Amino acid sequence: MFRCFKTPHTKGLDIYAVMKDVVTITTDVKSKLNNATQAENDLVSYCDKKNATTADIIHAIDAVTPHIHTLYTELNRLSQGRPYMIKKLQFEWRSPSRGDKNFIKMHGLNYELLMLITSKATMMLNQSAESYEVAQTASDKQKHFTEAVKLCKEAAGLITYARDTLLPSWSADEIPSDSHPELLTEFLDLLHSYAIGSARMIASETLIAAREAILAKPVEGYEIPEEDRNALQVKAEVIAGLSRDASVKLTTAISMFSNSKISKNVDKDIKKALEWLVSMLEVRELQFMAESEFYTSKPDSTEQYGRAVAYMDKARRLCNTWGGKVTDKAGGKVATAVKKAMVEKVTQRLEQMQFDNLMVYHEPVPEFSTLKRAEALAQIGEKPYEPGAPLYTDLELKKGGKMHVEK
């Protein structure tokens, strides 16, 4: 989980100046439209600040979104659901997912609302990555991992709303070929897979922390109590399943880069970070399949310990083919530390298991190709996005207003 996305940028718009020529403005509505303009200006300022935090930008987006959602809802009502055009209603955005710094202009509140929603989603994914980074060295890992999972789930709900509710409001010929990736269904599918895959990957981290707490408990003699052995086995099995499912999700996201529109418009560093995460998850799946077999095995068993050695051996060999790359800005130092710790852990456990098998268990080690993979566990889903009630309703078209409804 890494900070793959750049800060979004927008040039804002004087909402009141545009809408006063279109709808009848009461004192109350004028105040709210002026507030909308101020919120737009604040968002521009926060995005341009070098020291603005991810949380600052999310807060600024949240201040604008209810105003744009209200106008979007009301103008759709006034146009009776037909496409409409307001010539001055033109927004400019620089995408957080593109590799360049180009602003793209498009008309329509659907464009502004979609960019607000998807920009918030990408910033929440970055904020989740920040929580993930803090958790690596925190004493209370569970707290930060839980917050990271929550942010990913909320981001996934935002992406679903953008893809299934906002994007269909365009016809295909309205979207320029060289446009923001956020205007592509395929990219929103990619982003959704990234959010859900990351949520499940981080959820597995909470279980790893819980296992470490069990292993840290003092025991009498050399035997771990049966109750703890069972807990360690079950948690290992769930970790492997979550890792398997997350790996499949992120592999699906990577495959979408074969789409020429995505490969052309999306920052290549995002693909490299996804590849890194898939490599890590493949190692983790096999690492904890081995642990599951280990805590199932008994000294008189004839199969489990040999399978544990085979899984861990494959995990160690996968460490040698770890792919992808995470830039320093996205969290490269954390990636390096995570990989180093995992490789050391897998290597030490493999050596321990091989020694114990030689001295105690004497089980044959099967070929990895004969072993089953973990059963994917899709236990973590999105949190649906709810736009909330409009700030005001029953706007009326101004006589002679310039809202053109297309036939």
What's residue 316's pLDDT?
97
Q: Is the pLDDT of residue 118 over 90?
A: yes
Tokens matching residue 189: 């599918």
Measure the CA–CA gap between 283 and 310, rounded to whole angstroms.
13
Going by the DSSP 8-state scheme, the letter that residue 11 receives in this structure is -
What's residue 361's pLDDT?
85
Would you say residue 391 lies in a domain? no
Would you say residue 371 lies in a domain? no
Measure the CA–CA gap between 113 and 110, rounded to whole angstroms.
5
Q: Which helix or strand (DSSP H or E) is residue 69 part of?
A: helix 54-78
What's residue 312's pLDDT?
97
Task: State the chain's mean pLDDT as an integer.
Answer: 90
- Segment among 59-68, 366-375, 389-398 with least mean pLDDT: 389-398
Selection from 204, 107, 93 nearest residue 148 by Cα: 204
What's residue 358's pLDDT?
92
- Using CA atoms, how far residue 105 sits from 13, 57, 133, in Å, is 12, 21, 35
DSSP for 89-134?
-EEEEE-SSSSS---EEEESHHHHHHHHHHHHHHHHHHHHHHHHHH
What's residue 29's pLDDT?
87
Tell me the pLDDT band of 151, cut-offs 50, 70 and 90. Answer: very high
What's residue 52's pLDDT?
92
Would you say residue 134 lies in a domain? yes
Would you say residue 405 lies in a domain? no
Q: Is the pLDDT of residue 53 over 80?
A: yes
Measure the CA–CA gap between 93 and 9, rounded to whole angstroms.
6
Tokens matching residue 244: 């398997």
What's residue 221's pLDDT?
62
Q: Is the pLDDT of residue 365 over 80?
A: yes
pTM for this one? 0.93
- Segment among 283-297, 356-370, 390-404 with least mean pLDDT: 390-404
Burial profile 353-364: b = 16 or more Cβ within 10 angstroms, e = fewer: beebbeeebebe
Question: How many domains are contained in the chain?
Answer: 1
Q: Which helix or strand (DSSP H or E) is residue 404 part of?
A: strand 404-405
Burial class (CB in 10 A: 0-12, 13-18, 19+), 189: middle
Model confidence pLDDT, tens digit, residues 171-199? 656 666 667 889 889 999 999 999 999 99
User: Mean pLDDT throughout 60-85?
Assistant: 90
DSSP β-ladder status, 9-10 and 90-94? antiparallel
Going by the DSSP 8-state scheme, the letter that residue 330 receives in this structure is T
Measure the CA–CA gap between 306 and 351, rounded to whole angstroms.
13
Would you say residue 156 lies in a domain? yes
pLDDT greater at residue 84 or residue 357: 357
Would you say residue 49 lies in a domain? yes
Q: What is the CA radius of gyration of the chain?
A: 26
Would you say residue 378 lies in a domain? no
Tell me the pLDDT band of 86, cut-offs 50, 70 and 90. Answer: confident
- Tallying the residues shown for the chain, one arrives at 407
Helix runs in 216-330, H state only:
226-255, 260-265, 268-296, 304-319
The CATH number of the domain where 210 resides is what? 1.25.40.280
Q: Is the pLDDT of residue 222 over 90?
A: no
Tokens matching residue 246: 């997350």
- Segment among 110-119, 221-230, 282-291, 352-361 with least mean pLDDT: 221-230
Burial profile 227-246: b = 16 or more Cβ within 10 angstroms, e = fewer: ebbebbbebbbbbbbbbbbb
Q: Is the pLDDT of residue 224 over 90?
A: no
What's residue 300's pLDDT?
62
- Give the Cα-Cα-Cα angle 379, 384, 386 (nearest 5 degrees): 165
Domain assignment of residue 45, given as a range:
9-214+225-361
Percent of the chain's residues with pLDDT above 70: 95
Would you say residue 3 lies in a domain? no
- Segment among 42-56, 99-113, 145-159 with least mean pLDDT: 99-113
Percent of the chain's residues with pLDDT above 90: 66
What's residue 57's pLDDT?
96
What's residue 298's pLDDT?
66
